[in-house]
Amino acid sequence: MSFDRMIEKIVETQNPTVAGLDPKLAYIPSYILDGAVAKYGKTLEAAAAALLEYNKGLIDALCDIVPAVKPQAAYYEMYGWQGVRTLAETVAYARAKGMFVITDGKRNDIGTTMEAYATAHLGKTDVFGEKTEAFGADALTVNGYLGTDGIKPLLGVCEAEDKGIFVLVKTSNPSSGELQDQKMESGKTVYETMGEFCEHWGETIMGKYGYSGVGAVVGATYPAQLGEMREKAPHTFFLVPGYGAQGGGADDVAPAFDKNGLGAIINSSRGIMCAWQKEKCDEHDYAQAARREAIRMRDEICARIGEIRANG
């Protein structure tokens, strides 16, 4: 019902990062693509099979050092139902390897439809009286801008199934301020108000480390707002995208952490997935290149957290 399981994985691996799994065919080594095309032809089936093999290689190489993965649903939906099946298989594979899985779906809708999303991604679907996990993630990203009606259905599922949600608060993209930075009548910004909602929504699903099961997405590309929200939303765990490919670095993400070095998990997707292309190494070494980048990222961020803690 909270992020306790994720926090425990972060502490166990001593690594507050999450590897994004946003696979595109352009990132996948040709030996994997050629094998899939030889088997299935130039079809969606081949693309989905290539994605799965690529993801499994990454998960195998990362599962002992990285606590979590974040598959972004759009990269799977792009390949039709075959791609969506790969999403479900990726989630199951990562969980079987002990990783915490955050499905980045940014779902939102009115109450009854949100109930269906909650059941699909975090809960158990009733199939002719039998309860079955459909996608089975540990956490889901959601958009809270439809208000409490759109979030409440998730809270019950989070409590019953020990799952969590990350609500979009201050996103990493360049135009996020067009709406999110606007001042409301209260004098507070829209993102600050959404952060307050997260604190409130999480009150009933509080965990033993002081963080609830309602987290917030706050971008690494806005370090000042990360620091501001860390103070203003002390019970809200942050999922921080924008490190690496979007320009964020260790200094930028440092304000996301609390005095114990917890409170945030930093995402890198392209930085880890495409490390083999950046390194220009042998394509057969793609998963080990991802591991090298994950270790570099972990060490850079942990060193920065350590400096801050040492300086009080």
Ligand X SMILES: O=c1ccn([C@@H]2O[C@H](COP(=O)(O)O)[C@@H](O)[C@H]2O)c(=O)[nH]1
Residues with catalytic roles: 106
Residue nearest to ligand X (CB): 171
Confirm or reject binding of residue 105 to ligand X (CB under 6 A): no
Confirm or reject binding of residue 71 to ligand X (CB under 6 A): no
Confirm or reject binding of residue 263 to ligand X (CB under 6 A): no
Q: Which stretch binds ligand X (CB under 6 A): 51-59, 92-100, 261-269, 304-312?
A: 261-269
Confirm or reject binding of residue 267 to ligand X (CB under 6 A): yes
- Distances in whole angstroms, Cα of residue 202 to Cα of each of 3, 158, 308: 11, 10, 28
Enumerate residues 173-202 that contact ligand X by CB under 6 A. Answer: 173
Strand 125-127 with 130-132, pairing: antiparallel
Q: What is the DSSP string of 176-211?
A: GHHHHT-B-TTS-BHHHHHHHHHHHHGGGGB-TTS-
Confirm or reject binding of residue 217 to ligand X (CB under 6 A): yes
Nearer to ligand X, 25 or 206 (CB): 25
Contact status, residue 236 vs residue 210, Cβ threshold 8 Å: no
Structure tokens at 265: 């998990």
Give 181's contacts (C-beta < 8 A, 6+ positions apart): 189, 190, 191
Among 2, 108, 172, 180, binds ligand X (CB under 6 A): 172
Give 10's contacts (C-beta < 8 A, 6+ positions apart): 16, 67, 68, 262, 265
Q: Which stretch binds ligand X (CB under 6 A): 56-64, 131-139, 149-157, 237-245?
A: 237-245
Which residues bind to ligand X, rule: CB under 6 A? Answer: 20, 22, 72, 104, 171-173, 217, 219, 241-242, 244-246, 267-271
